[in-house]
Chain A
Amino acid sequence: MTTINLLSPLIVGCLLFASTSPSYALKSCQDNQFSAQSMKRSQGKTIATGNVELCTPEFSIEADYLEQQVNAQGKTLMAKGAPLKLYQADAGIAASVARLEYQSALLRLTFYSVTELVYQRDLNQQIAISADTIDYQFKTEQTNAGKSNIASSTNIDSSTKIVPSLMDIVGSPLQMTITQSNQPAITLLANATAFDFKTETLTLSGNVIIQQPQQAIYADTLIYRISDGSWEAPSNSQQRIKIVDTSQVQP
């Protein structure tokens, strides 16, 4: 019984991720698997249309339209869909967007009209984001004999792990919903957010609202820590922070 109690958050977390991300989310390919209804290569550009699926070591996508170009700097990619779906299994990211652009040399993905981007932080916690644009930077880490080194190149093999680095999120407003197993959800609203995955902090700016179960916090700029749910105002900010007790409003 004790074992079940200990494992229950893990089980819930697994179920949560499974419910938000299809099984395809767990798929990552070392050899760039590709399929589409049709594909045209013209003047150095490859355009694929109709049920496009691309599975790479960096991510996998399902789209209606995919445009790829290879030059000396690397590969650039633009995809569209209604919606387009992206999965990054290593990073725990699943996104449903209208359009994306990718630059392989920079390991940078830009999402447009983000219906939902789900970041599975761990088995217990996930963050769902809806926004106008998300500029997402990730990196690769080489894992050799238990040691981890930051990879400098874009060559990704089975010993390489994708690690999210930064996200610049813009919306009108953007919305982030943080859910943790057995706990009520926390909603963050703002015009822009910088998500630093290393420090696990969100720097929210512009009409910031943090809706917690017992209170709502209003400010111009706030720093929110995902790990413990704490928040603070930037040290140099001269602003008025409004905290509203919402516990009485709840039925």
Chain B
Amino acid sequence: MRIRRRHTPYILTALVAVIFLVNYLRSPNSQPSDSQLSEHVVIQQFSQKQFDENGILVHRVEAATAEVNDHQMELTQPVLETLHQQISWRISAARASSQDHLKHIQFSEQVEIRQPQQQALSLTTESLSYDVAQKRLLSNQPVLLKDQFDTLTANRLMLDITSLDIELSDGVSGTQHDNN
């Protein structure tokens, strides 16, 4: 079989292409990975602490388990403690979830907010969202508020931890305690 001289460049180009393809397939980086296994993590006794620029602890999130799947995080028995102007707030629940690395947390089932220092405030509800950056709590479920002044129920809650403003709406009722 005679190879014509004019076909030689095409044959060489094809051989080089085959060599590159074989090398690419053999390289470790090109190995296909199992993404489901690598990004699904379960952590027992989860704990995360966040400090401000002065090294002071501002947030601490703890949970019996944390199940991380891509950006989704599911917590069981979560407890969040946040500190603002030396006043500590504690939020606990049966479950919590976050889709943005705990920047916003949705607490659910037996949610309890406690602020023991001022007025011994406690709030209980079944669902609560917390904007960690804004330090703002919001609930659209029935809420029970108890402190030294009031025992009140409402169907909506907004609590601003930075200003200590509490807003109850959509039907507020209960009793007020005279402490004067």
Contact = CB atoms under 8 A, between A and B. Distances in A.
A246 interface: no
A37 interface: yes
Q: Is the interface of B mostly helix, strand, loop or mixed?
A: strand
Interface in A105-151: 105
Contact of B152 (A37, A39, A73, A105): A39
A20 B15 CA distance: 107
Contact of A42 (B165, B169, B174): B165
Contact of A35 (B166, B169, B172, B180): B172
Nearest to B147: A41
Given A34-B173, A42-B163, A104 B180 contact: yes
Given A42-B163, A70-B149, A37 B171 contact: yes
A74 B178 CA distance: 9
Interface in B129-180: 149-150, 152, 154, 163-180
Interface residues of B, number: 22
Contacts of B179: 70
Contact of B172 (A32, A37, A56, A70): A37
B121 to A, nearest CB: 10
Nearest to B180: A74
Interface string A6-44: 000000000000000000000000011111111111110
Q: Is the interface of A mostly helix, strand, loop or mixed?
A: strand
A38 B180 contact: no
Scoring B149, B168, B178, B179 by chain A CB atoms within 10 A of each residue's CB, the highest score goes to: B178
Nearest to B154: A39
Contacts of B177: 32
Given A33-B175, A105-B180, A38 B168 contact: yes
A34 B152 contact: yes
Given A42-B163, A70-B149, A37 B169 contact: yes
Contacts of A40: 165-168
Contacts of A104: 178, 180
A75 B77 CA distance: 40
Nearest to A42: B165
Nearest to B167: A40
Interface of A: 31-43, 46, 48, 54, 56, 70, 73-75, 104-105, 154-155
Interface of B: 149-150, 152, 154, 163-180
The 5 A-B pairs with the shortest beta carbon distances in the complex, nearest first, are A38-B169, A35-B173, A32-B176, A74-B180, A42-B165
Given A32-B175, A105-B180, 11 more contacts: A33-B175, A34-B152, A34-B173, A34-B175, A35-B171, A37-B170, A37-B172, A40-B167, A42-B163, A54-B176, A73-B180
